[in-house]
């Protein structure tokens, strides 16, 4: 009961300025599934990620824990600060890309395939360590041009339906698209277990689905354009409470 009250307390705090998380636009049964870790299907991926955290990998035969120790301490708040700037590549990277960079640079292990269970499991495990914390995009001057391009994408009309993200998630939020309520487009619950997918998916998968939905050619998975859009969404959701790993219809 205490956890339930704490959870609803977080949601109410988020709505004080008119912003609501994606979970606020779900039905009571799906909300209950997300709140209860014994019922949330994403916890299966979390358990897989926890095992991978401790397992030696690559030619270096090093585990994540060998460098970072207990994730509950060292990774607290980390997921809330992504995407972030990668000084080596000179581009922003999201959490999944950061994980793969660590694998290749420090473990000498091949990167996991995007949207693979291993990568989503590790993302989910790390995201869980920031659950209940505020989304805190980094105040990094190097990110400014990428954030600006992400904003341009958010307001740009695309596809055969000639729609922008803003037209749905700003102007039509709370209305229905078929049987589903249109959320405000805050990404504080990703990665998510989506009932439609019957599996986990990243924010990029959802963004690419939206692009397909308006009959636009989606960016390739992992493209910098998608990370730029993720950056803008992180800024737009700054201060909101992390819900990940979430459940969505």
| CA distance linking residue 58 with residue 69, whole number of Å | 18
**Residue 86 near residue 101, CB atoms below 8 Å:** yes
Element (H, E) at 199: strand 199-201
**One of 64, 165, 168, 210 is an active-site residue; which one?**
210
State how far the Cα of 190 lies from the Cα of 23, in Å rounded to an integer: 11
Is 210 a residue of the active site?
Answer: yes
Name 109's bridge partners.
none
Pairing label, strands 176-177, 180-181 = antiparallel
Please compute Rg for the chain using Cα positions: 18
Got the DSSP string for 102-124? HIIIII--PPPPTT-HHHHHHHH
**Residues with catalytic roles:** 210
């Amino acid at each position: 009961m205490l956890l339930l009250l704490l959870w609803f307390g977080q949601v109410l705090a988020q709505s004080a300025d008119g912003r609501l998380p994606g979970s606020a636009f779900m039905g009571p049964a799906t909300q209950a599934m997300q709140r209860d870790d014994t019922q949330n299907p994403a916890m299966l991926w979390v358990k897989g990620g926890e095992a991978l955290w401790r397992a030696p990998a690559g030619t270096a035969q090093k585990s994540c824990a060998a460098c970072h120790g207990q994730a509950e301490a060292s990774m607290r708040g980390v997921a809330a600060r992504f995407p972030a700037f990668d000084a080596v590549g000179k581009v922003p990277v999201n959490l999944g890309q950061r994980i793969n960079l660590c694998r290749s640079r420090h473990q000498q292990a091949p990167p996991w395939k995007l949207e693979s269970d291993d990568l989503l499991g590790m993302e989910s495990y790390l995201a869980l360590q920031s659950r209940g914390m505020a989304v805190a995009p980094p105040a990094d001057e190097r990110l400014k041009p990428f954030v600006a391009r992400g904003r341009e994408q958010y307001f740009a009309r695309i596809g055969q339906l000639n729609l922008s993200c803003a037209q749905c998630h700003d102007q039509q939020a709370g209305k229905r698209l078929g049987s589903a309520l249109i959320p405000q487009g805050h990404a504080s619950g990703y990665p998510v277990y989506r009932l439609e997918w019957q599996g986990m998916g990243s924010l990029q998968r959802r963004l690419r689905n939206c692009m397909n939905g308006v009959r636009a050619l989606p960016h390739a998975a992992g493209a910098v354009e998608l990370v730029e859009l993720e950056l803008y969404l992180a800024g737009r959701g700054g201060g909101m409470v992390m819900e990940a790993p979430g459940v969505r219809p």
